[in-house]
Structure 1
């Protein structure tokens, strides 16, 4: 009999993963058999990988305690062997496990660890996972706008990777946020835009979730026929897979729709099935929804004893959740709400700076500061993103008006950038963007602000700069980009830029300054490119 090799173990793990979506119980079973085989040949990385997927499968099956126990073994091996990317994935899964049991603070700390690992390794996939998780903590605390911001940031990272699975997961979280924000028409449009990604990901449970959300939106818009058709399609998919969380959500939605249509027999069938499913994995949030709907159904059926029972069960869970959330919110700054993520994240601060917070380790605060900074950065180039630019721009305009100091802005566009993408590949285009951003950053003062405005367009904000100094910076950027040895990237590659410049006037806002600079940029491109034009208010 031929001896096992690490390659054999890797192939067995791949075979186990093929079952993860259609039957994660089988993945868990196969992984449990693979891990000791890897251990026998001292292939510790393979052992850890097999155990990781067993832990993830157990989480999907709702076997949370066993999943956590298995994950601790994975973390131990990853730390001993220095498997840092795997350790980051462990932090993400730990967040999922804690989150599934409503341990939101522990989940938050796990995802912050995941984010820290992502920062150290420059792993964009881990950024995506961490932002999704942290957004889910906001969601669980009913801060849906904050959740939406984090999930949108996660989507930005996922789109960089062009990973349909990650993109799909981000879209599903965004849609869930929009449902809670009652933006139901937007839910329908976004779900339609997301469907191609979900189909490409081949994640049937996610397609069921997508259809469930869309069906719920149709329901809220009183489109009952469309809601029924969409929810039944989701339900049909859910009969083929074994993700009980998705099944429970779908059954609750079908029960709610049947109740609204006064189809009491169907409502009872769906809601009792939902209750049974939820009890198998113990989600208090879903459980209180099921009891409330069953209480409403019993009332409609003139069954007062049943109604009383389900109302009582609903209120018991609500009270317990309120106690838990009150405890968590002391740490998560519920009273003041969260400031915009782009300014500063304050998840571990309270109004009164209580004793518990003062004992928080300095490293935890440093992690949160890292999180805040990452939320302001363009993932590809490392310069500020457009959201952060808008904050700085408004602040600088206000300060310049108040102090009667000059302010200049440059709008910079890389010439013929589409041709670079088309001729040399999008990967080469990304490298050009990164190099151009680095040149701009090296060409300005420490207090100047460089941001990616969008695509191949950048903005440079120059506080306390008049026309002469702003022109000097613009000329320096233009000449350095033109003189850069782009042949190091490709022998035929060349790159130049066009620049529009605007100065702050008394009547200007941030938007009007950008508008003036943008018109000047258009003129620079019209007049031949690789040049600087000054906006009319600066002439």
Structure 2
């Protein structure tokens, strides 16, 4: 009984854990509740479930209650995951820890944690975890205003996200990459990346990201002097953030609207937007935003001649600037850590090369398939499946040159269905199509691999054969005539009878493809005038 209960509990834990993960992107409060439920269900010796549940608890706590509360939980999850050598959970725990340290301003410690995450992820070659770790590293460099270095890691994050199957992560990496491209004033490239992000956006789940895309598009329009479009984008972004209660997003949008209004020589509107942004930014103490808002306010008051207010905001701007410098100085990444990162990157480049090789092989296989399908569509008759007139016109001259070089022989046999118009008139065009399709199946079974059966036009076909003499070619043509005549056509339509006439010609040295087919056509004409349902071959010299 105990074993049955244990199995049942384990299954329950797995179901709860799956449900908790599904809530991560839409309802962290529900995720936290489910993670705590999983902790209650997990058995003491089920360390894997305990580690998983603890990690999810830490991730939810980081968002709901902040880094200080979440860090001990995430470190516990890391310890549990290490005990059972669950490398993906180890890597994910390190990423959670790094995110928490980053939000506390402990950038050097966060950098090391991301490095540990990369090394753990390499044990299982997890593309998604590579992307998350590189995303975190890129954002660290953004906070240090080292945008060129940030660009490197954010581009890597996008590459690994694309290799994963996580659509949400693909969108997220593009959002962060576009923000850095904006900082580097690479506006056309930023716009293109934003379009990619828009195509990956999961709505309505990621309305905050939709607002972020509108905000970045607004900033691009501002820089390009497109004020009306900029205003529309920024207002749409702000409206989404207000409706959803996203205060950080509102602050960013209000700052953008303030800058735009000042540029449009609307100082009062600019002051209104920027004061609202300042009130919001004071709530969550984002130093970068506060610095930027105070700087913009100092510019506006200076332009209005209010030197006292301008000086107050300039002092506040300088204070925040100095705070950022102190954080930057205390979080410098050491040379030894950089070398460690380079070693990790070297290994990941090898994995990336292997991934690229596999992707190229897959693309090559897909391309070959597309080319074959294209060739089939271009060179084959859609009704009967045999070669079409285009294939005959292109290939026959080559076959003649080859025959001449090898001093071999080649024959063309024209095939025409007798009284085919009557078949269409008496039994319908649909039956006529079925006759052509079925007859071509029968004729194809009588040809060799190197022979070429092509539809010449309408109900007329041509067979090109080589490396056989006229007597054998005559036997092939006669056998084709008999097979068509003897086929049980009543299975297609009661009362249906089908026969063919055939005319052949042997290629003569120096003769063109057109001349060869013309002589075969004359032989076919002779077969028609001989009562149809027969075979005639052109004599050397041109007559049948």
> What TM-score comes out, normalization by structure 2 length?
0.59
Instruction: Specify which of 272, 275, 280 is matched with residue 275 of structure 2.
Output: 272
Matched, 1:255 2:224: no
Q: Secondary structure at the match of 1:121?
A: coil
Shift of 1:207: 1.7
2:197 is matched with which residue? Answer: 194
Mapping of 1:127-138 within 5 angstroms? 127-138=130-141
Distance 2:204 2:171 in 1: 7
Mapping of 1:158-307 within 5 angstroms? 158-199=161-202, 202-300=205-303, 303-307=306-310
Aligned length: 368
Q: Secondary structure at the match of 1:162?
A: coil
1:157 is matched with which residue? Answer: 160
Cα RMSD over matched residues?
A: 3.6
Q: Secondary structure at the match of 2:123?
A: helix
- In structure 2, relative to structure 1, the CA distance for the partners of 1:378 and 1:261 (3 Å cut) is same
Q: Is the 8 A contact 2:74 2:97 kept in 1?
A: yes
1:418 is matched with which residue? Answer: 367
Shift of 1:201: 8.9
Distance 1:421 1:93 in 2: 44
1:374 is matched with which residue? Answer: 348
- In structure 2, relative to structure 1, the CA distance for the partners of 1:117 and 1:413 (3 Å cut) is closer
Distance 1:373 1:189 in 2: 30
- Residue segments in structure 2 that go unaligned for 5+ positions in a row: 373-544
Higher relative contact order (CA 8 A, sep 6+): 1
Shift of 1:367: 4.8
Instruction: Specify which of 65, 68, 73 is matched with residue 65 of structure 1.
Output: 68
Distance 1:281 1:137 in 2: 19
- In structure 2, relative to structure 1, the CA distance for the partners of 1:23 and 1:267 (3 Å cut) is farther
Task: Output one character per residue of 1:185-235: Cα deviation in whole Å (capped at 9) or x when no partner.
Answer: 322232123211024694222222122111111111121111111112212
Moved over 6 A (4+): 382-386, 412-415
Q: Is the 8 A contact 2:39 2:54 kept in 1?
A: no
Instruction: Specify which of 324, 327, 330 is matched with residue 327 of structure 2.
Output: 324
1:98 is matched with which residue? Answer: 101
Q: Secondary structure at the match of 1:5?
A: helix
2:128 is matched with which residue? Answer: 125
- In structure 2, relative to structure 1, the CA distance for the partners of 1:266 and 1:375 (3 Å cut) is farther
Deviates more, 1:298-307 or 1:184-193: 298-307
Matched, 1:5 2:37: no
2:457 is matched with which residue? Answer: none
Task: Output one character per residue of 1:268-292: Cα deviation in whole Å (capped at 9) or x when no partner.
Answer: 4433333333333332222211222
> What TM-score comes out, normalization by structure 1 length?
0.60
- Residue segments in structure 1 that go unaligned for 5+ positions in a row: 333-347, 350-356, 387-411, 424-539
- In structure 2, relative to structure 1, the CA distance for the partners of 1:55 and 1:271 (3 Å cut) is farther
Distance 2:19 2:371 in 1: 37
Q: Is the 8 A contact 2:211 2:249 kept in 1?
A: yes
Mapping of 1:16-95 within 5 angstroms? 16-17=20-21, 19-24=23-28, 26-27=29-30, 29-31=32-34, 33-39=36-42, 44-61=47-64, 63-95=66-98
Shift of 1:328: 3.6
Q: Is the 8 A contact 1:184 1:217 kept in 2?
A: yes
